[in-house]
Chains A and B, each alone.
Chain A
Amino acid sequence: MIKKSTFLLVALSSVFSFSQTSHVDLPNVSDVAVTMPVSHPQHSTSVTVVRGPYLQSGTPTSVVVKWRTDIATESVVHYGKSLKSLSKKASSNNVTTEHEVALSGLSPNTKYYFNIGNKAGVLSESVSGEMYIITAPKAGTKQFVRAWILGDAGTANNNQRNVRDAYYDYVDAAPKNSGKTDMMLFLGDNAYGSGTDEQYQNALFDIYDDMLKKSVAWSCLGNHDGKSADSATQSGPYYDIFTFPTAAQAGGIASGTEAYYSFDYANIHFIILDSHHTSREVGGAMYNWTKADIQNTKQDWIVTLFHHPVYTKGSHDSDTEDRLIEMRQNFMPMMEANGVDLILNGHSHSYERSYFLNGHYGFANTFNPDDISKGGHTVGSNGYGDGKVDSNGAYQKANTAAEGAVYITTGSAGKISGGDLNHQAMSVSLNQLGSCVMEVEDDGRGGQNLTVKFIRDNDGIDDYFTINKSAWVLNTDRNASGQKSAGLLYDADKDLVRLDVDKNDKLKKVKFYNNIGKLVKKSRRKTINVGKLPKGLYVIEVITNQKAYTESITIE
């Protein structure tokens, strides 16, 4: 049970220092978390948590805890690995109603219980341990991951609540990792009609309060959020409420903006784009960032989310609307070529899920269900199937081919709006309320399955599919081919490189170039001591009386 306690804060007029967030170790403080004495009520003001706490920007070693109080006060988070011993503290003496405290120095993949409060005491806690942070695993870790995906949820009505409750039922009853939700992925339009602060309170915080206290929430900007938020100035409720990494704090490449960003979780790379306010041009800042980011990741899975759907014939039409067409024609060729696996969109208030696709950038009527090897737009022998393990079989993404992605338009977590729902590239099109869950887990053959299920508001699972990467050697370290090549032997124990020069050749010169192409060592010997060279990649230019050639070596 989560308890929001109202305490008496005496003497708000006290002098507070405006220091930065600080972290200290404390003795067990959980015992002081329940009550505070009431003294001098005539000078007292009660402080109540009116929003949150909620978790943002989770990384393997850090997380941001945010909350709002009705009256400005300091910010204190007590946390620890045991509910009975919240022995660490992060705090800020800034007096504010909008609290934001970064917890850092955490261990990866570790559960920390926490409570929030001010200098006077605890303001919100869960005595049953339902307020916690589980830090992200280190990038590259292969493990079970579950993400809850919510598109266009923000109606604040019973439709939204029913969709929420159906997911809660699902996750509570899940045979594996019951109760575990690693992250919430919001696909925009999180609060109708204009994403105002009040609407966010009603449609996000009041609805998902329990989950937001234990699962990091990520989001992209929807058009309704964009009515009150201004990406040009990164201001307005959406940007105030969410805190996203701009400097690659959670992995990926620095975008310099919260409008689009990326993060790693386990062996999945997530790329979040702004399809509403930001330019969608090829060569624009967001495009250049996306290309650099996707070409820099070594993660096994790549998932992207943005609001405007690549394919839809729901309450919007991807054949006629500019943002949808631009995302499809400008971004998808580049993202598909670089191995994107799953594309999550909202905007249309329905559920539409594609076949296993590649290269379909035209209108719906140009979709060709044939395999790409026959000039079509599906991938693999069952790419035009339903992707169900127990039916046409999971979609396969082999090591020898990077093509194949599933596109989901899932914007019915708050309402349904119908439409023709007949896009040819879609395997399933439903005018039903629901949300999606993505689960990545071992396939038992050394690979992994990425499974997405559409969970209806009535608890039914009306669609599911799996992408399998069992043929992939997941997460191998870089191979050591650079350490040794045909013409040389590197003895790491003795720090020696021995060149195997043709017996008819006379060695004249050997030059070592470091990883930025700088000449760092010269020699005329066949056996060369490289003990003083820093770790890294080297190209070795070997010049004999007969020829010049290169070798390479990685000194570790």
Chain B
Amino acid sequence: MHKVVQLIKKDLLLLWREPANLVLILLIPLLMATIFGGIYGNDSHKSKVTLAVVDEDGSAESAAFVSLLAARPDLHISQLNLEAARQSTRLGQHVAYMQIETGFATGIQQFPFGQQTPVIRLVADPKRQAITGYMTGVTMQTVMQLIENRLGGASTGSTNMNLQPVSVKAENIEVSPAMPLNAFSVTVPQAVLWSILASVAIMSAGLATERSQQIMLRLKVTAVSMQMIVLSKILSCMTMILMSTTLLFLFGTVTFDLNIQSLSMLSLAIWCSAFCFAGIIMALGTLGGSPGAISGAVWTVMIIFAMLGGGMVPQFMMPEWLAIASHLSPGKWAIQLMEGAIWRDYSWQDALLPALILVILGTLGCAAGIRNLRNERYL
């Protein structure tokens, strides 16, 4: 194992010593995530709950209520009609919508002696129970503030009397899983894919260089077994990819408030992607040809993978034919698994297929690489 560790250390040191590699693996993907995230999404409300409000009452009271909500620092309010609010919540553009039903003003004016309690509906994705609970509290608090304002600042004492000025009804809406909640939820996995593809191109060229200089052969002929050479190469590639993707996700989380739904699934996505692309490095880096030729060929393949896999156009925006063609790219499965952990809200069952495809592709790549290395001769 000591020999394998030495070989991994060497690979990482070589990578570190070439600044252009770090630019390709980290800096450019970071810029991509930032610039495209900035273009696609308005991030000024990223720390607020985005709420669509449907004011069916249309009274001065309901308008005052909406104004009080809009004044809150934790909410970003958009007033829409019912259909638009439903649609935007379904597509994930708002986390919930609030429907203020007719009779709101009457209820407020007659409080606490009214016969009927006005109804406010809070409609959200059933998986966002916390948001529903939070919004229920916010609604009650704001209604009480509205009543206090009407009474000229005098306390209603209603909380002591346990009276409810409004009835908040929580309802569910089916949210489309094909839409992200935040532009960075899309651009960060895209950036990660680019970083992985850059790692593949760089490490394949590195492997090809080692082969052309007959370093592999020197190791193979003398002290290091074939298994050690292969294991160290796979682990080096995986370590490189794991490190760069982890850094990019950390950056995304800290800088862009990337809301990762399942950290364990994201870890699975990173590990499976690292293994898959380590296999691809093994396969491509051990093909015949000069390092320059291999580097050119690998970049071409990687750009095609990126185009098909959602590295340029997000998968949910792809036309049907492109979505079908994207099955051919390992990048698609890597991004899908990452997005599944970030915003697609995948169950473990949903994650199984992309994870399996990545592992199978990685295994095939490793097998091809091992075969190519075994057949290597001294020339």
Query: Are A and B a genuine interacting pair, yes or no?
Result: no
A residues at B contact (CB < 8 Å): none
* Chain B residues at the A interface, C-beta cutoff of 8 Å: none
